[in-house]
Amino acid sequence: MGSLKLQSFSVDVGCFPKFRVKKGNARSLLVRGSAVSSPQSVQDADLKVQKLKKAVRVGVLGASGYTGSEIIRLLANHPYFGITLMTADRKAGQSIGSVFPHLITQDLPDMIAIKDADFSNVDAVFCCLPHGTTQEVIKGLPKGPKIVDLSADFRLRNVDEYEKWYGQPHGAAELQKEAIYGLTEILREEIRNAWLVANPGCYPTSIQLPLVPLIKERLISLENIIIDAKSGVSGAGRGAKEANLYTEVSEGIHAYGITNHRHVPEIEQGLSDALQCKVTVSFTPHLMPMSRGMQSTIYVKMAQGVTIKDLYQQLVSTYEDEEFVKVLEKGAVPHTRNVRGSNYCFLNVFPDRIPGRAIIISVIDNLVKGASGQALQNLNLMMGFPENTGLQYQPLFP
């Protein structure tokens, strides 16, 4: 099916890339970068052409939230993905510039209600809808488009677990079986062949990236994994809530969702999978006065005879060929602001004062690697493009 679709955009049109994509490899690709463009007047014409010609027609469902706008930002410089459909029920009829003035220069279709969307014209869909509404929506979509769902609706394989944590029955249990969990670096091959990817939550991403390889290699104890996580406010979305007002958030910190944050079953599912062994974690998220960024400080006990150096080496060897997961130099402390706006995860591991224990720190931008960036990374894979396409933004600091 993927190849069918690929054919549909491998046509050669003028200055636009003539290319052939073989599944999973980009070797014989003939590509022209879009990074260079001509003066504005020429460029405008170009843009139109280019817009028509972008090979993959992408729909963004729920485009008026922060993960939606982040998809749009990332696709702005993507050479193959062009947005041809945007839905936002409460903003239907509005332009992107009126909903997100920072994207006013983007030439995009107006938002429409999801019920008015014509999915026959899209090759892929980013689904940025709220948890609990997505199962029905995706069930109702025509077969064909590849889907990356950024909600939690397809992340838990066990539909009872879903019901328990989300307070409502799973609405698409049969589709759940086909959904692939989109933690790219860990499940790359499965994702490549998937048509429905459940994009991981932000906390689970920042936690599983360091822990899964360590658990797989039996380097850390499965008991008493204690995770103290800190998130920026954008993780709470753009909905108007008193708790997220500037005045309520700035200049302070507090924990929330202690023992019952909905990312817990997702984290435990991922860690349990690593060794096929049930893991229960201690997970305490905190809300920070920052818009973007997430840090997980993870306190673990090393397995008998294992040293910090072993943990470090394992992480280095797991990620040495990865573009987006970086194990820092020994002793260097990951800062959230050093990955802001980028798809990077920075990691490191430190000895604890308590003998036999280690402290692992990982940082991501919750809206990029923790949401829309990883979603794009996944769709690139699913469509047969190099995984980093459109994702090579360096972090914005300061």
Within residues 22-41, the interface with a copy of itself by CB under 8 A covers: 24-27, 29-41
Tell the smallest beta-carbon distance from residue 114 to a copy of itself (Å).
Answer: 20
Rounded Cα distance between 6 and 73, Å, is: 24
Out of 71, 202, 281, 311, which residue is the one contacting a copy of itself (CB under 8 A)?
A: 281
What does each C-alpha distance from 250 to 121, 149, 246, 247, 363 come to in angstroms? 43, 31, 6, 6, 21
Rounded Cα distance between 389 and 99, Å, is: 26
Q: Among candidates 389, 331, 328, 392, which has minimal Cα distance to 362?
A: 328
Out of 133, 272, 291, 313, which residue is the one contacting a copy of itself (CB under 8 A)?
A: 291
Tell the smallest beta-carbon distance from residue 31 to a copy of itself (Å).
Answer: 4
- Does 16 bind a copy of itself (CB under 8 A)? Our answer is yes
* Of residues 295-314, those binding a copy of itself (CB under 8 A): 295, 297, 299, 301
Please choose, out of 110-118, 124-132, 193-201, 274-282, the segment that lies near a copy of itself by the rule CB under 8 A.
Answer: 274-282
DSSP letters for 94-134: --HHHH-GGGTT---PPEE-GGG--GGG-SEEEE-PPTTTH
- Does 53 bind a copy of itself (CB under 8 A)? Our answer is no
- Does 316 bind a copy of itself (CB under 8 A)? Our answer is no
Out of 189, 278, 289, 317, which residue is the one contacting a copy of itself (CB under 8 A)?
A: 289
Q: Among candidates 75, 79, 56, which has minimal Cα distance to 7?
A: 56
- Which run of H or of E encompasses 162? helix 159-166
* Of residues 322-361, those binding a copy of itself (CB under 8 A): 322-323, 326, 328-329, 332-342, 344, 346, 350-354, 357, 359, 361
Kindly name the residue from 15, 127, 128, 202 that is annotated as catalytic: 202
CB nearer to a copy of itself: pick between 52 and 396: 396
* Of residues 89-128, those binding a copy of itself (CB under 8 A): 97, 100-106
Residue 149 corresponds to which tokens in the numbers above? 């769902």
Cis peptide before 334 (omega within 30 of 0): no
Out of 81, 162, 283, 312, which residue is the one contacting a copy of itself (CB under 8 A)?
A: 283
The β-bridge relationship of strands 146-149 and 124-127 is parallel
Rounded Cα distance between 175 and 59, Å, is: 20
- Does 389 bind a copy of itself (CB under 8 A)? Our answer is yes
Please choose, out of 142-150, 168-176, 205-213, 286-294, the segment that lies near a copy of itself by the rule CB under 8 A.
Answer: 286-294
Out of 245, 307, 309, 330, which residue is the one contacting a copy of itself (CB under 8 A)?
A: 245
- Does 373 bind a copy of itself (CB under 8 A)? Our answer is no
- Does 165 bind a copy of itself (CB under 8 A)? Our answer is no
- Does 77 bind a copy of itself (CB under 8 A)? Our answer is yes
Please choose, out of 168-176, 213-221, 319-327, 370-378, the segment that lies near a copy of itself by the rule CB under 8 A.
Answer: 319-327
CA dihedral 384, 3, 177, 274 (to 10 degrees): -30
- Does 277 bind a copy of itself (CB under 8 A)? Our answer is no
Interface map 187-226 toward a copy of itself (x if CB under 8 A):
------------------------------------xx-x
Out of 119, 165, 195, 393, which residue is the one contacting a copy of itself (CB under 8 A)?
A: 393
Rounded Cα distance between 170 and 138, Å, is: 12
What does each C-alpha distance from 23 to 7, 29, 49, 185, 318 come to in angstroms? 12, 11, 27, 18, 24
Rounded Cα distance between 206 and 200, Å, is: 10
Please choose, out of 71-79, 131-139, 161-169, 270-278, the segment that lies near a copy of itself by the rule CB under 8 A.
Answer: 71-79
Beta partners for residue 326, in sequence order = 346
Is 202 one of the catalytic residues? yes
- Does 6 bind a copy of itself (CB under 8 A)? Our answer is yes
| Sequence-ordered list of residues with C-beta below 8 angstroms from that of 97, at least 6 positions apart, any chain | 103, 104, 106
